[in-house]
Structure 1
Amino acid sequence: MTRLSLTNLPVAPAVDPNALSVGIVHLGIGAFHRAHQAVVTERAAVATGETRWGITGVSQRSATVRDQLAPQDGLYSVLERGLGDPSIQVIGSVRDVLTAPEDPEAVVARIADPAVSVVTLTVTEKGYRAASDGLNLDDPEIQADLAGRPPRTVIGQLAAALARRDESLTILSCDNLVANGPFLRKLMVDYFDALGKVPPAFEATRFPAGMVDRIVPATTAADRDEAARMLGVRDEAVVVAEPFLQWVIENDFAGPRPAWERGGAVLTADVAPWEQAKLRMLNATHSMLAYLGALRGYETIAEAVRDEELGGLARQLMTDDVIPTLTPPDGLDLPAYGATVLERFENPALKHRTRQVAMDGSVKLPVRMLGTVRDRLTAGAEPHTISLAVAAWMVYVLRTPDLDDPQAPRLQSAVSGITDPTKLVDALLSIDTIFTPDLRDSTVFRDLLTTHTTALLHHL
């Protein structure tokens, strides 16, 4: 079958790709970006008629996305699956893709281009190479960038580009990190401190916080086949998504930007309440269902949440433990939001794999769950259900020999040979890159974890 391209275009993008110039660089051009920020950027271009906001995507690891998009002139489709019939749309806002390991200099040069005024990031929590509340200066990749090689970390790439710029820049994180904008700025400060010099452009560069939400499961061969039937051409870069899409952005920019609010984004003076609600309600519940679901043998989140017991625990997590810790932003009804979260998880058309969601638990737990645990303990409450979620992660670590986690060797070494639940809890609580002393020393939390791990191990 003919491949999707500008010359084989059965469904035209909403904007003419040939008319777009590049004004945005996106670091981490995976499926999520292509189903989220790139879509909102294209909608904004349609609403305003502006043509300066084409996107250069950067792949931080493999050439897969570049190899998928290059023969298709940067075009790809978004296959939306809700409760009704699926729909498909061709997106043209991504104009080219660079692969950082192959040509790190090209990445720096593109960010340094004066025509670029915005950099966005979806590099996952581990892509920031953080340790506790700052940059992990012991990370060998960070050390190599500091030593002067063509940079291969996102922090090194941004630093090298800022050193070449006369113009300020807006750098917008779209990853699930608490106060991701200020946090990214702190990592950059740590890097420049270690480097011993700060480029002038950094002082005027802005780091707005951002919160993103859309479920984007991994694309399968069956998805590509369905897209081909719907389009009449083959799209090797199709991404799958639910109809729901949310993007909340702090209105703090250094210069020109797309009119993202015209494309459906919310601009606000304070992202924090939206962020906390999403991290603690949606992301924490997603992770709990992933761990408990995987331990029960469920392949997808939809299967897990349709399990009567697990679905009940998900509701209980939000109602009993999370909502009491939140101050909702104006216009957000937390119980209604929680019900919407579970409805989205139950969508059988989105086969979001439990093992995919369970990845990188060591960096997800602190931002998704442990703040809720801490707040409930401080309030004098027993965080029963959120502790079950943490215990499920502990048992998942114990029972998963091919653990996908940046700290996998340390975690697996800690639990090696353990069969006793109390020893399992103590071994993982001792990991100081995950658990802070206040949690490690909490008798209430430790006892809850021991009770839950005992029950989970008994029933497996």
Structure 2
Amino acid sequence: MLTLENIQNIKSPVHLPDYNPMDIQNGILHFGVGNFFRAHEAFYVEKTLKANPNWGIVGVGLTSGEHSYKKAKMFKDQNCLYSLTECAPSGKRSVQIIAALRDYLLAPEDPESVLHYLSKPEIRIVSMTITEGGYNINEITGEFNLQSTAVQKDLNNPSKPETIFGYVVEGLRRRRDAGMKAFTIMSCDNLRHNGDVARKAFLGFAHARDPALAGWIAQNATFPNAMVDRITPTVTTEIARCLNSENGLNDDLPVIAEDFHQWVLEDSFADGRPQLEEAGVQFVSSVTDYEHVKIRMLNASHIMLSFPALLMGYAHVDQAIGDQRLKKNIENFLTLDVIPTLTAPPGINLQNYMESVISRFSNPAMADQTLRIASDGSAKIQVFWTETVRHILINKTDCSRIAFGMAAYLEMLRGVDMQGHTYLITEPSYGKDQDALIQSDDYAAALQLPAFDTWKDLDSSFLDQKVIQLRKIIRSQGVIAALETLPT
């Protein structure tokens, strides 16, 4: 395995850190050390550490269970080192060892150590990748959900938190009481206005715990909005074996990503930051137009492609986009439904951006799983499709392509593809009531799912009828038959 002792024995062409990892001091604590974080935020921070070694990262895992404990042990055994393989659509590859992550804590195993880090003055940024649905925002009210069992548990026992909200707010309480500065709370999740969402979530929790503490946090902490982008697929045991074989490494924690990466960030930090602009981060006064382009084009297309692809038996995104019928639907969706309603930020040509999206989806080295993209579709639809749907409903324009996407989603939720093969789709926010709607023989029943709540205030009757019509065609004749009914 990779360790600080044997790292110097690694041979070219694997790129090693251009600094001594032992010299790094921690300045960032990050919740949610998944593949995307390791290929994105940690990748960018890595580039800054030679010039300024004070921004190493402490990773924190919040979940318990066998997998979590195994992951924590692997990080510890490897001194938190891992390899990142970047793959271009042309087939060119580049491999580097990332050492920006300097410690890893499993919160359920040692919660006080997490709080100790959060209370240290050198930790000046707390970042997170906790998924789109991880901010505990009530889908109906748009406010922080104080009725959550986990939240209530933390509110009743604030010195021994279990949620990210409990940890961060208790850490800030200790800093306030010690006369220290607040830290920046930085979301790196695929959410519109992710900093604003984080602000609502953490202040919502803090206010329920102590209004005076919430006021101090509101005045002293910052919540910059960000747009993050990099396709980072799941690394299976087989993929890890192949990567190690190709790279000559013995890495238990390899990550693979496309060669494309982007981070647009508002320069709003409470107590300093790394020189991320030197690593390619674009600092702007507002990320709104950038995030709209990314979310409404790339992310929206990702699920528009993966829902029907899963039904058709395509396991990987590159296989799906290789089907010219699915590819044409994505091009029509972007050209006819999305681009006309978008404002392009400076320097971005939307037609060229669409072509880059198609190219990125076509990268066979990613082997990105359609099942991964299709999972948690409820949260993704609300984030990625809402603005497009609202434009269609308000202006009463052609709804056929978005209706097809909705129909494919609802049929995909049933867990059986067109060949009769079963798969397990993950919808964290759904329970027995939602499952009953999904499996109902009434094609209209599932239109009551929370996935579609964000446009319930508008008249969606003509859209709903189209969804029902397309569901019937998909169920009886297949995905392609439904696609062939769409105008081009």
Q: TM-score, with normalisation over the residues of structure 2?
A: 0.89
Letter in 2 for 1:377: L
Matched residue, 2:153: 144
Matched residue, 2:402: 386
| Residue 122 (structure 1) aligned to one of 119, 129, 151 | 129
Following superposition, the deviation at residue 317 of structure 1 comes to 1.1
Query: For residues 65-124 of structure 1, what are the alpha-carbon distances to aligned partners after superposition, in whole Å with 9 as ceiling and x for unaligned?
Result: 322221111110001122223221001100011112222222222122111111111110
Query: For residues 184-211 of structure 1, what are the alpha-carbon distances to aligned partners after superposition, in whole Å with 9 as ceiling and x for unaligned?
Result: 1111222122223332344210000011
Preserved contact between residue 374 and residue 425 of structure 2 (Cα < 8 Å): no
SS at match of 2:42: helix
Could you tell me how far apart the structure 1 residues matched to 2:75 and 2:38 are? 11
Letter in 2 for 1:65: K
Task: Return 214-223 or 87-96, whichever deviates more.
Answer: 214-223
Following superposition, which runs of at least 4 residues in structure 1 exceed 4 angstroms of deviation? Answer: none
Could you tell me how far apart the structure 1 residues matched to 2:277 and 2:69 are? 32
Matched residue, 1:324: 340
Following superposition, the deviation at residue 440 of structure 1 comes to 6.8
Preserved contact between residue 394 and residue 458 of structure 2 (Cα < 8 Å): no
- Aligned runs of 1:441-456 on 2, under 5 Å? 441-456=459-474
Cα distance change, pair 456–433 in 1 and its aligned pair in 2 (3 A): closer
Cα distance change, pair 264–141 in 1 and its aligned pair in 2 (3 A): same
| Residue 306 (structure 2) aligned to one of 286, 290, 299 | 290
Task: Return 163-172 or 401-410, whichever deviates more.
Answer: 401-410
Matched residue, 2:380: 364
Matched residue, 2:483: none
SS at match of 1:152: coil
Could you tell me how far apart the structure 2 residues matched to 1:440 and 1:140 are? 32
Matched residue, 1:58: 60
Task: Return 221-230 or 101-110, whichever deviates more.
Answer: 221-230
Preserved contact between residue 429 and residue 440 of structure 1 (Cα < 8 Å): no
Q: Does 1:414 align with 2:437?
A: yes
Following superposition, the deviation at residue 434 of structure 1 comes to 4.1
Following superposition, the deviation at residue 427 of structure 1 comes to 1.8
Q: Does 1:170 align with 2:174?
A: no
Could you tell me how far apart the structure 1 residues matched to 2:217 and 2:312 are? 52
Cα distance change, pair 37–340 in 1 and its aligned pair in 2 (3 A): same
- Aligned runs of 1:9-158 on 2, under 5 Å? 9=7, 10=10, 11-46=15-50, 49-61=51-63, 62-82=68-88, 83-132=90-139, 133-148=142-157, 150-158=160-168
Preserved contact between residue 321 and residue 384 of structure 1 (Cα < 8 Å): no
Preserved contact between residue 56 and residue 94 of structure 1 (Cα < 8 Å): yes
Task: Return 155-164 or 87-96, whichever deviates more.
Answer: 155-164
Could you tell me how far apart the structure 2 residues matched to 1:238 and 1:265 are? 24
Could you tell me how far apart the structure 1 residues matched to 2:401 and 2:83 are? 39
Cα distance change, pair 439–273 in 1 and its aligned pair in 2 (3 A): same
Letter in 2 for 1:172: M
Letter in 2 for 1:53: W
Q: Does 1:261 align with 2:277?
A: yes
Cα distance change, pair 57–131 in 1 and its aligned pair in 2 (3 A): same
Between the two proteins, what is the percent identity of the paired residues?
Answer: 33
SS at match of 1:343: helix
Could you tell me how far apart the structure 2 residues matched to 1:272 and 1:135 are? 22
Following superposition, the deviation at residue 290 of structure 1 comes to 1.2
Letter in 2 for 1:235: D
Preserved contact between residue 76 and residue 90 of structure 1 (Cα < 8 Å): yes
Following superposition, the deviation at residue 172 of structure 1 comes to 0.9
Structure 1: state its 5+ residue gaps: none
SS at match of 1:25: strand
| Residue 373 (structure 1) aligned to one of 389, 413, 426 | 389
Following superposition, the deviation at residue 408 of structure 1 comes to 3.0
What number of residue pairs does the alignment pair up? 451
Letter in 2 for 1:429: L
Preserved contact between residue 135 and residue 197 of structure 2 (Cα < 8 Å): no
Matched residue, 2:419: none
Preserved contact between residue 266 and residue 286 of structure 2 (Cα < 8 Å): yes
Task: Return 154-163 or 87-96, whichever deviates more.
Answer: 154-163
Could you tell me how far apart the structure 2 residues matched to 1:125 and 1:201 are? 23
Query: For residues 340-369 of structure 1, what are the alpha-carbon distances to aligned partners after superposition, in whole Å with 9 as ceiling and x for unaligned?
Result: 001000111111111111111111111111
Following superposition, the deviation at residue 154 of structure 1 comes to 1.5
Could you tell me how far apart the structure 1 residues matched to 2:70 and 2:294 are? 30
Preserved contact between residue 397 and residue 411 of structure 1 (Cα < 8 Å): no
Q: Does 1:188 align with 2:209?
A: no
- Aligned runs of 1:222-261 on 2, under 5 Å? 222-261=238-277
Q: Does 1:346 align with 2:338?
A: no
Following superposition, the deviation at residue 439 of structure 1 comes to 5.7
Preserved contact between residue 22 and residue 53 of structure 1 (Cα < 8 Å): yes
SS at match of 1:130: coil
Cα distance change, pair 53–99 in 1 and its aligned pair in 2 (3 A): same
Could you tell me how far apart the structure 1 residues matched to 2:405 and 2:457 are? 15
Letter in 1 for 2:58: T
Could you tell me how far apart the structure 1 residues matched to 2:223 and 2:446 are? 34
Query: For residues 424-443 of structure 1, what are the alpha-carbon distances to aligned partners after superposition, in whole Å with 9 as ceiling and x for unaligned?
Result: 3x322223574146367421
Letter in 1 for 2:36: F
Following superposition, the deviation at residue 379 of structure 1 comes to 2.4
Q: Does 1:160 align with 2:182?
A: no
Could you tell me how far apart the structure 2 residues matched to 1:436 and 1:233 are? 47
Following superposition, the deviation at residue 152 of structure 1 comes to 1.7
SS at match of 2:272: coil
Preserved contact between residue 247 and residue 265 of structure 1 (Cα < 8 Å): yes
SS at match of 2:102: strand
Letter in 1 for 2:145: N
Could you tell me how far apart the structure 2 residues matched to 1:75 and 1:342 are? 33
SS at match of 1:399: coil
Matched residue, 2:446: 428
Preserved contact between residue 131 and residue 433 of structure 1 (Cα < 8 Å): no
SS at match of 2:233: coil
Could you tell me how far apart the structure 1 residues matched to 2:341 and 2:238 are? 41
